């Protein structure tokens, strides 16, 4: 075990494993994870497949096989493609990553954002998980975004795709927002987001839960665009070899994304500036001001 996870002591005299993980910013489940070696050829194929799925989330295994042979001179059979898709957490039948596959025993919630005009920060947050190809293995990234400003409030990385990863990103988002909570939280129907742990954490805080329609990745379109940007502008270019390098690189990228990079949607302003703006006055507030 390397990086910050290697600092956790199983026999610490004062701090529990959970407390140590929280202090170090490490997912508790990562301590029990034993990485399975992945061949260099499989990693190369998975990297290419990830790019293909970013371009077309609905593409099937047969067309993947054809594209690998046509564009990359790689002779890969359908069975191998299907196996690698499972390892990446991708399932075409739902027209998006397999993080959308719900658990039949878990709760489902309606999509609350249809025809809703979102005009202020912290009105709606959203979250998603994406696969991250690495030179020496695989990782998963979870981010929490403010819907109105597109600001990434919190994110977390782990080599396991579980609810602990999502809860870590959520905790960091709440901290970054100064304890302010959203009125609505939107996610897909992935098992992490329908789990009792995730649902309970939101309901305990009085947050309304919204979930994308089955197979409708466009219902969470802003964070899907975020994945496309961070992968093409950073992850694919850097080809990170370790989790620690990945975390350091993503920290730089998300900082630039939030604080420096101009967004055409906001007339060249940044997500951080839009997030910090005061919300527009309501009709009742305007009437009171006129009366005064």
Which tens digit of pLDDT belongs to each residue from 61-91? 888 898 999 888 999 998 999 888 888 777 6
Residue 96's SS3 state is: strand
pLDDT confidence of residue 226? 93
Checking if the pLDDT of 149 tops 90, the result is: yes
Checking if the pLDDT of 283 tops 80, the result is: no
pLDDT confidence of residue 239? 86
pLDDT confidence of residue 195? 92
pLDDT confidence of residue 8? 67
Least confident residue range of 13-27, 58-72, 88-102, 223-237: 88-102
**Beta strand pairing call for 184-187 and 208-211:** parallel
Strands (E), 15-118: 90-91, 96-97
Interval 193-205: pLDDT, tens = 999 999 999 999 9
**Token digits for 132?**
């991250």
pLDDT confidence of residue 162? 86
Phi and psi, residue 158, nearest 5°: -155, 160
Asked if 274 contacts 150 with a C-beta cutoff of 8 angstroms, the reply is: yes
pLDDT confidence of residue 161? 86
pLDDT confidence of residue 286? 40
Q: What percent of the chain clears pLDDT 70, i.e. is strictly above it?
A: 77
Interval 20-46: pLDDT, tens = 777 667 676 665 555 567 788 888 888
**What is the CA 11 to chain-centroid distance, rounded?**
33
Segments in 73-180 forming alpha helices (H): 78-88, 163-176
pLDDT confidence of residue 248? 95
Checking if the pLDDT of 274 tops 70, the result is: yes
Interval 103-113: pLDDT, tens = 555 568 988 98
To the nearest 10 degrees (0 to 180), the angle between helices 78-88 and 61-72 is: 100
Cβ neighbours of 26 (radius 10 Å):
25
Per-residue confidence band for 221, with pLDDT thresholds at 50, 70 and 90: confident
- Rounded Cα gap, residues 7 and 120, in angstroms: 41
**Token digits for 154?**
């919190």
Q: What share of the chain is helix, strand, coil (3-state, %, to 5)?
A: 50, 15, 35
DSSP sequence for 109-133: -----TT----STTSEEEEEEEEEE
Checking if the pLDDT of 263 tops 70, the result is: yes
- Rounded Cα gap, residues 28 and 20, in angstroms: 9
User: If you average pLDDT over residues 190-195, what whole number do you get?
Assistant: 90
- Rounded Cα gap, residues 146 and 271, in angstroms: 9
Q: What is the mean pLDDT of the chain?
A: 81
Q: What is the pTM of this model?
A: 0.72
User: If you average pLDDT over residues 128-147, what whole number do you get?
Assistant: 90
Give the residue from 141, 142, 116 showing the smallest Cα distance to 127.
142
Give the angle 157-99-142 at the CA atoms, nearest 5°. 25
Checking if the pLDDT of 95 tops 50, the result is: no
């Amino acid at each position: 075990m390397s990086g910050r996870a290697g600092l956790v002591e199983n026999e610490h005299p004062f701090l529990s494993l959970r407390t140590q993980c929280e202090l170090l910013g490490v997912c508790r489940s990562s301590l029990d994870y034993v990485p399975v070696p992945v061949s260099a050829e499989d990693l190369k194929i998975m990297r290419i497949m990830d790019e293909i799925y970013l371009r077309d989330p609905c593409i099937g295994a047969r067309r993947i096989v054809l594209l690998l042979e046509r564009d990359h001179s790689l002779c890969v059979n359908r069975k191998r493609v299907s196996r690698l898709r499972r390892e990446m957490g991708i399932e075409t039948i739902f027209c998006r990553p397999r993080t959308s596959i719900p658990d039949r025993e878990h709760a489902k919630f309606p999509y609350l954002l249809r025809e809703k005009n979102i005009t202020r920060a912290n009105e709606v947050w959203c979250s998603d998980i994406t696969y991250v190809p690495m030179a020496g293995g695989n990782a998963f990234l979870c981010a929490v975004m403010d819907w109105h400003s597109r600001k990434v409030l919190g994110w977390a990385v782990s080599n396991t795709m579980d609810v602990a990863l999502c809860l870590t990103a959520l905790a960091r988002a709440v901290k970054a927002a100064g304890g302010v909570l959203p009125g609505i939280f939107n996610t897909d129907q992935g098992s992490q987001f329908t789990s009792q742990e995730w649902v309970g954490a939101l309901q305990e805080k009085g947050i309304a839960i919204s979930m994308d329609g089955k197979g409708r990745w466009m219902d969470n379109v802003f964070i899907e665009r975020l994945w496309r940007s961070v992968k093409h502008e950073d992850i694919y270019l850097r080809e990170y070899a370790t989790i620690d390098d990945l975390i350091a690189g993503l920290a730089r990228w998300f900082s630039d994304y939030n604080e420096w990079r101009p967004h055409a949607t906001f007339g060249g302003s940044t997500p951080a500036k839009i997030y910090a703006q005061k919300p527009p006055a309501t009709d009742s507030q305007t009437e009171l001001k006129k009366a005064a």
